[in-house]
Amino acid sequence: MKNGEIWLDDRGNPIQAHGGMITRFGGKWYWYGENKSAENIPGTTRVDVIGISCYTSRDLVNWHCEGNVLSADAKDPSAVLHPSRVVERPKVIYNEKTGRYIMWFHADAPDYTQAMAACAVSDSPSGSFRLVGSGQPNRLDCRDMTLFVDADQQAWLVHSGNWNKTLYFSRLTDDYLGFTGEYYAAFADQEREAPALFHDHGQYYCITSGCTGWQPNPALYGTSRHIACGWKLIDNPCRGMTAHKTFGGQSACVFEANHRFYLLLDHWKPTRLKESGYSILPIDVRDGCIAIRWHKEFNGVNETYDHESCSARL
């Protein structure tokens, strides 16, 4: 699988799982993302909402399309899933107490003025999911977002708000279907989006993108010992040529496999969204800092990668 390019599923079709996440449930890997298989609406950088697609794999290389696990609804123009609207950044976590799979995603009007989060549930990771509600978390606008379960098994919706000026950590209720009212702000006035989080040896890491529309920009990562406070921006974790543009990609999620963390990137083609590519890159974690180098190909998590010093020059 060549990084930065279109990836194909086991039937030879382009994988349509943009802005999404890779996670493991049971013995399978699941990749959820935006299905953008249609042509762009002429003169725009959007396609009509098709739905949230799901792919499964045993090895993170060979992917099988399970279809749309949440589909557009063309009946009601005001519906969250109407084709004319915005559905982005789907993330899925499992709730052990209820035995259900919970999806949250960014739901919006075509002009991005509503800035909501929407929730859907399923009894199976491969769907189908049923929409259960939408709204602004804690009356805060919500745009790029992710889900994260912390070291204490508390679930959080992490989202850009305040018109993308601030990142918010909004705690979910025990059933993961709503909000407790507890929330915290991080990176105030830093204009960060596309959050991707992980936790390692007592420290949280959050990789983010700058707000430059569809154009690549330098990633930055922040660290904290506590999910709810103490976040500080550190540096660009990328190393080598084109590191100042995050290798032409944007963070989607971080996942762990074989005791190592990996970053999933989207390589957006705004005028041909269905042709947008992906990369999976290993993350080196040492002494509380991280480094990410470009690799031309991703051939699975059993491949040996040379480790890079976190202090290496960009």
Looking at residue 260, what is its pLDDT? Answer: 97
CA distances (Å), 259 to each of 51, 145, 225, 256, 302, in order? Answer: 32, 25, 20, 6, 11
Residue 304: inside a domain: no
Domain range spanning residue 58?
Answer: 18-293
Q: In the 8-state DSSP scheme, what is residue 38?
A: S
Q: What is the tens place of the pLDDT at every residue in 205-248? A: 999 999 999 999 999 999 999 999 999 999 999 999 999 999 99
Residues forming beta bridges with residue 171, ordered by sequence position: 156
pLDDT at 303: 67
312 domain residue, yes or no = no
pLDDT digits (tens, 9 = 90+) for 120-131: 999 999 999 999
- The string of pLDDT tens digits covering residues 239-292 is 999 999 999 999 999 999 999 999 999 999 999 999 999 999 999 999 999 999
Q: What is the pTM of this model?
A: 0.96
In the chain, how many domains are there? 1
Question: Torsion angle, CA of 176/179/184/185, rounded to 10 degrees?
Answer: 90
Is residue 14's pLDDT more than 90?
Answer: yes
**Integer angstrom CA distances of residue 189 from 123, 166, 206, 244:** 39, 6, 16, 21
Long-range contacts, stretch 291-296, CB < 8 angstroms, 24+ apart: 291/237, 291/238, 291/239, 292/219, 292/237, 292/238, 292/239, 292/263, 293/238, 293/239, 293/240, 294/3, 294/238, 294/239, 294/240, 294/241, 294/242, 294/243, 294/247, 295/3, 296/2, 296/3
pLDDT at 187 over 70: yes
**Cα–Cα nearest to 252, from 190, 303, 207, 294:** 207
Taking alpha carbons only, the member of 285, 284, 248 closest to residue 2 is: 248
In the prediction, which pLDDT does 301 show?
84
- Does the structure show a pLDDT above 80 at 304? no
**Residue-level pLDDT at 78:** 87
Pairing of strands 51-57, 18-25: unpaired
Q: Reading across the β-sheet that carries 220-224, which strands appear in turn?
A: 192-200, 203-210, 220-224, 232-235
Q: Is the pLDDT of residue 310 over 80?
A: no
Asked whether residue 7 is assigned to any structural domain, the reply reads no
Quick one: pLDDT at residue 17? 98
Residues of the chain above pLDDT 90, percent: 94
pLDDT tens-digit profile of 31-68?
999 999 999 999 999 999 999 999 999 999 999 999 99
Q: What is the CATH number of the domain that holds 176?
A: 2.115.10.20
Q: Residue 44 forms beta bridges with which residues?
A: none
